Amino acid sequence: MENKTENSVPFMKMHGLGNDFVVFDERVNGPLVTNALVIAMAHRHFGVGYDQLVAIRDHASEDIELVFWNADGSIAGACGNATRCIAGWELARTGQVSLTIRTERGVLHGTDAGNGNIEVNMGHPLLLWNEVPLAQEMDTLALPIEGKPTATGMGNPHCTFFVDDVDAINLETFGPSIEHHPLFPERTNVQVAQIVGPNQIRMRVWERGVGITLASGSSSCAVAVAASRKGLIDGPATLRLDGGEIQIKITDKGVLMTGAWAHVFDGQWRGVR
């Protein structure tokens, strides 16, 4: 990625299954990301457009550090697909086969899984009400909301509904109604999921601070965890999202997420900073 000039700053555009990101390498160019830049670049007509924006930073003890912002300017504690994309880019750039990644979620591990796929260990799911977090103590397996959804923390909060037909759900209205539900003091990501075969799940995503997205890595992890807790899957699962398929495996070392990634283009931003 080119160094910044006086009137522009370099960025990369990446996506994981259509879940798209703008990425700044602050190791090369120093601090770049401001709230004004986050908001300006997010607009899909007057900016670049993205689901999340990410800054890559140096870290004293890990290979890299990642900081995530949602399209509305809010901070995201985790972003699985962006982590996988940047891990893929960094592994290709350095020739390494694995790396450690510091995030607000904790230290994550990225590995080259072959055939253009990257595996990221997203850590252990957070299952207690105050870890998700929820507004009050309750069983996270079946929330007192119509549909009895399951709450899961993956560094950000998730609320998963299992339904008979995900495509029958009007996610444009259903998503925000749950994102802003009073049970979620930090708002929540929302998933509707459908078991379509043995260890096969079809799902759609509403991301807090973004809206409907073609995919979400942390949401995929949360859906697999919820399905496992409910006895709906038994073993590694394939999750089919609007943007493609991702593999999730729940282990005693954490939730492993494996899928494809893409570095779409490099650009120079000359707008608001």
Domain ranges of the chain: 9-122+260-269, 150-252
Cβ count within 10 A of residue 97: 9
Cβ count within 10 A of residue 109: 19
The pair of three-digit structure tokens given for residue 67, joined into one six-digit string: 């900081």
> Residue 133, preceding bond cis, omega within 30 degrees?
yes
Q: Which residue carries 């457009």 as its tokens?
A: 49
pLDDT at site 158: 98
Q: Do the Cβ atoms of 247 and 255 come closer than 8 Å?
A: no
Q: What does pLDDT average to over the chain? A: 95
Superfamily of domain 150-252: Diaminopimelate Epimerase; Chain A, domain 1 (3.10.310.10)
Rounded to two decimals, what is the model's pTM?
Answer: 0.94
Q: Which residue carries 């509904």 as its tokens?
A: 161
Superfamily of domain 9-122+260-269: Diaminopimelate Epimerase; Chain A, domain 1 (3.10.310.10)
Type and span of the H or E element at 42: helix 35-42
3-state helix, strand, coil in the chain (%, to 5): 20, 40, 40
pLDDT at site 8: 87
Of 178, 188, 187, 210, nearest in space to 73 by CA: 210
The two domains 9-122+260-269 and 150-252 share their CATH topology (first three levels equal): yes
Q: Do the Cβ atoms of 160 and 201 come closer than 8 Å?
A: no
Q: What is the pLDDT of residues 178-211, one digit of tens each?
A: 999 999 999 999 999 999 999 999 999 999 999 9
Residue 220 carries which DSSP code?
H
Q: What is the pLDDT of residues 130-188, one digit of tens each?
A: 999 999 999 999 999 999 999 999 999 999 999 999 999 999 999 999 999 999 999 99
* Residue 61 main-chain phi, psi, to 5 deg: -120, -15
Assign 101 a pLDDT band (cuts: 50, 70, 90): very high
pLDDT at site 41: 96
Assign 245 a pLDDT band (cuts: 50, 70, 90): very high
Provide the percentage of residues in the chain whose pLDDT is more than 70: 98
d(CA 81, CA 77): 13
